[in-house]
Amino acid sequence: MINQQKFQLLKQYFGYNSFREGQEELIDAILQGRDVFGIMPTGAGKSICYQLPGLLFQGITLVISPLISLMKDQVTQLNDAGIYAAFLNSSLSQNQYFKALEYARNLKYKIIYVAPERLLTDSFLSFAMEAPIDFVSVDEAHCVSQWGQDFRPSYLKITEFIARLPKRPVVGAFTATATDVVKKDVVDILQLHNPVQVTTGFDRKNLYFEVRTPKDKYREVQSIVEKHAKENGIIYCISRKLVDEVTEKLAREGYSVTRYHAGLSDAERKRNQEDFIYDRCRIMVATNAFGMGIDKSDVRYVIHYNMPKNMESYYQEAGRAGRDGEPAECILLYSGQDVRTNEFFINNDRDNEELDSANLEEIKRKDRERLKKMTFYCFTNDCLREYMLKYFGEYKGGYCGNCNNCLTKFEEIDITELAKNILLCIQETNERFGMTVIMDVIHGSETERIRKLGLRNNTYYGTGQKHSIVKLRKVMQELQAKEYIVSSGDEYPVLELADKGIHFLGSDEKILLKLPQETERLASKSIKKTAQSEQLNYAAGDGDLFDKLRELRGKLARKAKIPAYIVFTDKTLLQMSTMRPKNKAEMLQVAGVAEAKFERYGEAFLAEIQAFQADRPKAVAKIKIKQSL
Contact partner, 385, from ligand ADP, Zn ion, none, Cβ < 5-8 Å per class: Zn ion
Spell out the residues 6+ positions from residue 189 whose beta carbon is closer than 8 angstroms to its own. Answer: 144, 145, 156, 159
Distance CA(484)–CA(207), nearest Å, equals 33
**Cβ of residue 406: shortest distance to Zn ion, in angstroms?**
3
Three-state SS annotation for 304-317? ECCCCCCHHHHHHH
Distance CA(272)–CA(257), nearest Å, equals 9
Q: Is 46 in the site for ligand ADP (CB under 6 A)?
A: yes
Contact partner, 40, from ligand ADP, Zn ion, none, Cβ < 5-8 Å per class: ligand ADP
Q: Which is nearer to Zn ion, 385 or 467 (CB)?
A: 385
Decide: 571 and 577 in contact? Cβ < 8 Å. Answer: no
How far CA 423 is from CA of 487, 503, 570, in Å, comes to 13, 11, 53
Contact partner, 306, from Zn ion, ligand ADP, none, Cβ < 5-8 Å per class: none
Q: Which is nearer to Zn ion, 335 or 524 (CB)?
A: 524
Q: Is 148 in the site for ligand ADP (CB under 6 A)?
A: no
How far CA 336 is from CA of 204, 382, 465, 495, in Å, comes to 28, 20, 22, 13
Q: Is 441 in the site for ligand ADP (CB under 6 A)?
A: no
**Cβ of residue 15: shortest distance to ligand ADP, in angstroms?**
8
Per-residue contact track with ligand ADP, 529 to 558, x per CB under 6 A?
------------------------------
Sequential DSSP letters for 341-397: HHHHHHHT--TTTTS-HHHHHHHHHHHHHHHHHHHHHHH--S-HHHHHHHHTT----
Instruction: Read off φ and ψ for residue 218, nearest 5 degrees.
Output: -60, -45
Cα of 559 vs its chain's centroid, Å: 29
Q: By CB under 6 A, name the one of 300, 323, 443, 467 that touches ligand ADP.
A: 323
Q: Three-state SS for 276?
A: helix
Q: By CB under 6 A, name the one of 6, 35, 45, 301 that touches ligand ADP.
A: 45
Distance CA(351)–CA(355), nearest Å, equals 9
Distance CA(285)–CA(536), nearest Å, equals 29
Q: Is 172 in the site for ligand ADP (CB under 6 A)?
A: no
Contact partner, 342, from Zn ion, ligand ADP, none, Cβ < 5-8 Å per class: none
**Cβ of residue 24: shortest distance to ligand ADP, in angstroms?**
9
Residue with the CB atom nearest ligand ADP in the bound state: 45
Classify residue 320 by burial, with Cβ atoms within 10 Å: 0-12, 13-18, 19+: buried
Q: Which span sits near ligand ADP by CB under 6 A: 19-27, 231-239, 403-411, 504-512?
A: 19-27
Decide: 530 and 431 in contact? Cβ < 8 Å. Answer: no
Decide: 331 and 304 in contact? Cβ < 8 Å. Answer: yes
Decide: 619 and 544 in contact? Cβ < 8 Å. Answer: yes
Q: Which is nearer to ligand ADP, 124 or 315 (CB)?
A: 315
Angle at 463 between CA 501 and CA 375, to 5 degrees: 45
Q: Which is nearer to ligand ADP, 44 or 545 (CB)?
A: 44
Q: Which is nearer to ligand ADP, 367 or 570 (CB)?
A: 570
Q: Which is nearer to ligand ADP, 139 or 386 (CB)?
A: 139
Tell me, what amino acid is at 255?
Y
Distance CA(339)–CA(280), nearest Å, equals 34
Q: Which is nearer to ligand ADP, 49 or 235 (CB)?
A: 49
Q: Which is nearer to ligand ADP, 200 or 526 (CB)?
A: 200
Contact partner, 403, from Zn ion, ligand ADP, none, Cβ < 5-8 Å per class: Zn ion
**Cβ of residue 556: shortest distance to ligand ADP, in angstroms?**
18
Q: Which is nearer to ligand ADP, 433 or 605 (CB)?
A: 605
Q: Is 297 in the site for ligand ADP (CB under 6 A)?
A: yes
Q: Is 16 in the site for ligand ADP (CB under 6 A)?
A: yes
Spell out the residues 6+ positions from residue 294 whose beta carbon is closer than 8 angstroms to its own. Answer: 69, 70, 273, 277, 320
Q: Is 324 in the site for ligand ADP (CB under 6 A)?
A: yes
Instruction: Please report, as ranges, the residues that interact with Zn ion according to CB under 5 A.
Output: 383, 385, 400, 403, 406
**Cβ of residue 99: shortest distance to ligand ADP, in angstroms?**
28
Contact partner, 47, from ligand ADP, Zn ion, none, Cβ < 5-8 Å per class: ligand ADP
Q: Three-state SS for 21?
A: coil
Q: What residues from 408 to 437 belong to the interface with ligand ADP (CB under 6 A)?
A: none
Q: Is 43 in the site for ligand ADP (CB under 6 A)?
A: yes
Q: Which is nearer to ligand ADP, 399 or 598 (CB)?
A: 598
Q: By CB under 6 A, name the one of 76, 306, 477, 569 that touches ligand ADP.
A: 569
Q: Which span sits near ligand ADP by CB under 6 A: 39-47, 122-130, 310-318, 482-490?
A: 39-47
Q: Which is nearer to ligand ADP, 343 or 570 (CB)?
A: 570
Q: Which span sits near ligand ADP by CB under 6 A: 42-50, 52-60, 165-173, 430-438?
A: 42-50
Total residues in contact with ligand ADP, by rule CB under 6 A = 17
Distance CA(62)–CA(87), nearest Å, equals 10
**Cβ of residue 327: shortest distance to Zn ion, in angstroms?**
14
Q: Is 19 in the site for ligand ADP (CB under 6 A)?
A: yes
Contact partner, 569, from Zn ion, ligand ADP, none, Cβ < 5-8 Å per class: ligand ADP
Q: Is 200 in the site for ligand ADP (CB under 6 A)?
A: no
**Cβ of residue 322: shortest distance to Zn ion, in angstroms?**
16
Distance CA(109)–CA(105), nearest Å, equals 9
How far CA 226 is from CA of 74, 244, 255, 469, 565, in Å, comes to 31, 20, 9, 28, 22
Decide: 538 and 301 in contact? Cβ < 8 Å. Answer: no
> Helix H segments across 10-82?
23-31, 46-56, 68-80
**Cβ of residue 575: shortest distance to ligand ADP, in angstroms?**
11
- β-pair partners for 97: none
Q: Is 70 in the site for ligand ADP (CB under 6 A)?
A: no
**Cβ of residue 534: shortest distance to ligand ADP, in angstroms?**
8
Binding site for ligand ADP (CB under 6 A): 16, 19-20, 23, 40, 42-48, 295, 297, 323-324, 569
